């Protein structure tokens, strides 16, 4: 019993660590490709007269896209395990096939979107296609491989009743959602709009006016990856890692209580605690950094200074 519990906690910690890596890689990948909500500004820029050299990877929202990559990776791994291939090898083959599909989707999205903007004189830069696609594929491989390995741990070590591909789908969607919600604001609001005043938001007049030139030369999507891998990636990793860790931790520890309801109650308690923490951080951040409350009084002073 105790040994089972210790094994369960160990697997939980390992799965949480894998998820942290997955979250960090996923967010960096989507930022390099300009997927998710920052994509709308990249798409809009040429229409407002701002020709750019940023990748435009409009596959779909990140949750469905990562739902597919991880489900596909897990599905191929499941199929190869069914014909008795070694589990680790099967996971690698699965992630490789999924990354191939991801890379192809990335190229067709860039070519399609850019060719459809011919009216606004936005050319297709095929060097972007060659240099950036491979970098997003590498990050996607890390994200997919860690996620499906985590799913395999749940099935093989914790005895999860779902088959591997279904877990891949569920956790892939969760991974995409975590990266999209946590990491993208760093790219969309901080990196694309560095020329705007901090906290100014994106007024209509600034729509599409994204940063296109770098400190030296022209900004490439790889610079965006470099920028967001500093804070946005780790923040997404922490988010997804905590989700996976708490999800497994509450199940491993509290499932024996109250006929399984113990885990449900523990989950509700964890959510409530996080709601309190979130609320506290939000109010603290707004009073410390936010211009919202003092905007009316402070604005004329700032204009003169």
Residues at the contact surface with another protein, assessed by CB under 8 A? 49, 51-53, 58-61, 64-65, 67-68, 71-72, 74-76, 78-80, 82-84, 97, 101, 104-105, 108-109, 111-127, 162-166, 168-169, 212, 218
Q: For 211, which DSSP code?
A: -
Q: For 36, which DSSP code?
A: S
| Residue 177: CB minimum distance to another protein, A | 14
Complex with another protein: residue 165 or 241, whichever CB lies closer: 165
Complex with another protein: residue 117 or 232, whichever CB lies closer: 117
Q: How far apart are CA 209 and CA 224, in angstroms?
A: 16
What does R_g of the chain's alpha carbons equal in angstroms? Answer: 22
Complex with another protein: residue 217 or 300, whichever CB lies closer: 217
| Residues paired with 218 in a beta bridge | 213
| Residue 162: CB minimum distance to another protein, A | 7
In 3-state terms, what secondary structure has residue 213?
A: strand
| Residue 32: CB minimum distance to another protein, A | 18
Q: What are phi and psi of 213, to 5 degrees?
A: -110, 140
Q: What are 210's two structure tokens?
A: 């994204």
| Residue 135: CB minimum distance to another protein, A | 16
| Residue 265: CB minimum distance to another protein, A | 29
Locus of tokens 């989507």: 30
| Residue 290: CB minimum distance to another protein, A | 28
CA distances from 283 to 277, 278, 289, 292 (A): 10, 9, 10, 12
Complex with another protein: residue 219 or 250, whichever CB lies closer: 219
Q: How far apart are CA 239 and CA 179, in angstroms?
A: 8
Locus of tokens 């200074």: 305
Locus of tokens 């090898």: 89
Q: How far apart are CA 89 and CA 92, in angstroms?
A: 5
Complex with another protein: residue 84 or 304, whichever CB lies closer: 84
Complex with another protein: residue 42 or 266, whichever CB lies closer: 42
Complex with another protein: residue 167 or 235, whichever CB lies closer: 167
Locus of tokens 């990354």: 99
In 3-state terms, what secondary structure has residue 153?
A: helix
| Residue 167: CB minimum distance to another protein, A | 8
Complex with another protein: residue 18 or 164, whichever CB lies closer: 164
Q: What are 274's two structure tokens?
A: 């996080």
CA distances from 86 to 7, 160, 177, 234 (A): 22, 20, 31, 31
Q: What are phi and psi of 206, to 5 degrees?
A: -95, 0
| Residue 118: CB minimum distance to another protein, A | 4
């Amino acid at each position: 019993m105790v040994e089972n519990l210790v094994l369960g906690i160990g697997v939980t910690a390992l799965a949480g660590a894998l998820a942290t890596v997955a979250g960090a890689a996923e967010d960096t990948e989507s930022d390099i490709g300009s997927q998710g909500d920052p994509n709308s500004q990249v798409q809009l820029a040429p229409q407002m007269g701002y020709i750019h050299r940023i990748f435009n990877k409009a596959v779909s929202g990140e949750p469905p896209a990562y739902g597919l990559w991880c489900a596909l990776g897990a599905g191929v791994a499941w199929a190869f395990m069914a014909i008795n291939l070694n589990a680790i090898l099967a996971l690698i083959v699965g992630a490789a096939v999924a990354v191939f599909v991801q890379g192809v989707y990335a190229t067709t999205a860039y070519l399609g979107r850019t060719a459809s903007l011919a009216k606004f004189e936005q050319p297709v830069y095929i060097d972007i296609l060659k240099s950036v696609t491979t970098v997003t594929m590498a990050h996607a491989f890390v994200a997919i491989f860690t996620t499906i390995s985590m799913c395999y741990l749940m099935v093989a070590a914790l005895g999860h009743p779902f088959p591997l591909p279904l877990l891949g789908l569920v956790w892939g969607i969760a991974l995409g959602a975590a990266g999209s919600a946590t990491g993208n604001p760093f790219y969309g609001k901080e990196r694309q709009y560095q020329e705007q005043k901090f906290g100014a938001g994106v007024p209509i007049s600034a729509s599409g006016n994204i940063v296109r030139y770098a400190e030296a030369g022209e900004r490439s999507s790889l610079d965006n990856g470099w920028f967001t891998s500093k804070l946005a990636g780790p923040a997404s990793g922490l988010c997804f890692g905590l989700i996976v860790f708490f999800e497994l931790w509450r199940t491993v520890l509290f499932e024996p209580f109250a006929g399984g309801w113990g885990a449900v109650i523990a989950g509700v308690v964890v959510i409530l605690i996080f709601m309190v923490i979130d609320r506290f951080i939000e109010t603290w951040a707004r009073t410390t950094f936010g211009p919202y409350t003092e905007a009316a009084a402070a604005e004329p002073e700032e204009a003169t200074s």
